[in-house]
């Protein structure tokens, strides 16, 4: 079981994460979306496609663009479609 959290607040929890480049991608249905807000930021990866970003607000923490997902990943990264990953400011254990 992998858990993404900030402090004691669980942001995502799943037995079915996909690990890509050392990052655990959690299925969308395993994410506690009430703590995440989609932002306007995007980035591009040559083999994964365009990433969309989310900010996390919980327990007095307001962290901009600390989570990302690929809504329409490229062919080599289809296993992360519908998944979300977190930057190191979010503990994944």
Mean pLDDT to the nearest integer, 41-59: 97
- Mean pLDDT, rounded, of the chain: 97
Q: Looking at residue 59, what is its pLDDT?
A: 84
User: Angle at Cα 82 formed by Cα 78 and Cα 88, nearest 5°?
Assistant: 95
Q: How far is CA 62 from CA 20, 28, 44, 54, in A?
A: 26, 21, 24, 11
Q: Looking at residue 86, what is its pLDDT?
A: 98
Q: With beta carbons less than 8 A apart as the criterion, state whether 28 and 49 touch.
A: no
Q: Looking at residue 18, what is its pLDDT?
A: 97
Mean pLDDT to the nearest integer, 31-59: 97
d(CA 60, CA 80): 30
Residue 61's pLDDT band, with cuts at 50, 70 and 90, is confident
**pLDDT over 90 percentage in the chain:** 97
Q: Looking at residue 60, what is its pLDDT?
A: 87
pTM as predicted: 0.95
Task: Name residue 54's beta-bridge partners.
Answer: 38, 67
């Amino acid at each position: 079981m992998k858990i993404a959290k900030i402090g004691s607040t669980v942001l995502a929890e799943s037995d079915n994460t996909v690990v890509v480049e050392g990052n655990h991608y959690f299925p969308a249905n395993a994410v506690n979306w009430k703590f995440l807000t989609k932002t306007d930021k995007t980035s591009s990866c040559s083999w994964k496609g365009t990433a969309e970003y989310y900010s996390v607000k919980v327990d007095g923490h307001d962290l901009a663009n600390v989570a990302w997902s690929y809504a329409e990943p490229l062919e080599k990264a289809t296993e992360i479609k519908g998944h979300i990953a977190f930057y190191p400011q979010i503990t994944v254990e």
